[in-house]
Amino acid sequence: MKPLKLKVSLRSLDIKKSLQALQLKKQGKAEQGAENEKSAAAAKKEQEKQEIKKAAKSKKAHKAKKKPVETAKITKKIKEIHIPKLSLKKKEEKPVKPIKTVFLYAGQGSQKVGMGKDFYDKYESYREVVDHAKLPFNWKKLMSEGPLEKLSQTEYTQPCMSLFAAGVTAVLKEKNILPDGVCGLSLGEYSALYAAGVFDVKTLIDLTAFRGKAMAEAAKGLSCSMSAILGMKSEDVEEACEAVQDKGFVTVANYNCLGQYVICGDEPAVAAAEAYLKEKGMRRAVRLNVSGPFHTKYMAPAGVALKKYFENLNFGKPKVPVAMNATGDFLKSGENIGELLTKQVQSSVKFESDLRKFLEAGAENFIEIGPGNALSGFLKKTAKAMGKEINVYKVETVEDLEELEKQEVFIA
């Protein structure tokens, strides 16, 4: 019976081993399955990652493809908007009316007793202008009867000369004789600005009356003279002024035309400059009938007063070109008229340069308005030096105006 027991034991052992093997096999399969699941999960995750990258790349490519289309649309819209081209080149001036006729207005030193009386008697247009003047003195009596000594005092000279100029300008306008450009010598510059439409007649008279008082105040206590030097070059006159400074102050106040320059300053220095220039070949010197050292540093107080006055004054835009004394050139856009007039009263008058500007611009007919013919003389000399042929007229009296009306160029 023992052998059977052994067989059963062996059989049980075999069954136990088989069960163990089966268990190990099942465990291996389980572990393999877990590993496979792990690998599958990793693969799926990698696949998702790749898909995300692919989607992002596709989106970027889509944007890049779409951008040129959007840019083209924007460019088209911009082209539809008018954008002015910018240029670094100097802006060209707009064409202006040709300058053919120029009015020239006389300054201090040319005043005369009786000026304007015949115009007042004959022309209503003259009376309409001058009768509105409100001055603290009897200007009608002073202009028609004098005395010349009083009329020559700057506080009287300036408003009276301006009244005469404004009245004559009104009569010329009535006759349809109009300027294409204007210019004046010193005080005459104010009448030129009036003729150009920069301010009205009331402003002209009020302003020149104020200027006269300011200049008279600045000249008080000074012993000064003005002298026109004939037959010398400007550099010779400037040299003389420098050479006699030990005698006092003297300078060139007016550059009128080639061969005629006005010096002004302390009497001893002016006399010394005249003597110096005589030795250099000066033709002659003519003392001027003025009452102060105009257009010199002595007029600085008047300049200060004018500057303050101009702060409350609105200047209009000139309707015709105006050549300015302070610059010797046409008034330019952006330039301040008040500043130029403030400078003018206390510095040299560049009238010769003003005349040259008009001659270079092609002006052919010039009408001097005011007593005397000094400006006509300056103009003729300047035109001759430049080789220009011009027509020069003057209006001081009614007779002058009647002669002017007969000229073919002014016949309507």
> Among all chains, which residue has been given the structure tokens 């000594």?
149
Q: Where are the alpha helices (DSSP H) in 131-266?
A: 139-145, 148-151, 154-174, 188-195, 201-219, 234-243
Bridge partners, 257 (sequence order): 260
| Catalytic position from the list 110, 295, 347, 348 | 295
| 190 closest CA partner among 220, 151, 164 | 164
Q: Cα(74)–Cα(68) distance, rounded to whole angstroms? A: 10
Annotated active-site residue 295? The verdict is: yes
Whether the link from the prior residue into 147 is cis, omega within 30° of 0, is yes
Tell me how many degrees the CA angle 39-40-45 measures, rounded to the nearest 5.
Answer: 100
Structure tokens of 351? 């009238």
3-state helix, strand, coil in the chain (%, to 5): 55, 10, 30
| Catalytic position from the list 152, 162, 186, 291 | 186
- Amino acid occupying residue 218: A
Annotated active-site residue 132? The verdict is: no
Q: Which residues in 176-287 belong to E strands, given as ranges?
A: 181-184, 224-230, 250-257, 260-266, 284-287
- Listed in sequence order, the residues at least 6 apart from 347 whose beta carbon sits closer than 8 Å to its beta carbon are 295, 296, 326
Q: Cα(167)–Cα(170) distance, rounded to whole angstroms? A: 5
| 167 closest CA partner among 111, 210, 120, 105 | 120
331 in Cβ contact with 337 (< 8 Å): yes
- Sign, CA torsion 322/327/329/331: negative
The conformation of residue 349, written as its DSSP 8-state character, comes to B
The conformation of residue 299, written as its DSSP 8-state character, comes to G
Catalytic residue numbers read 186, 295
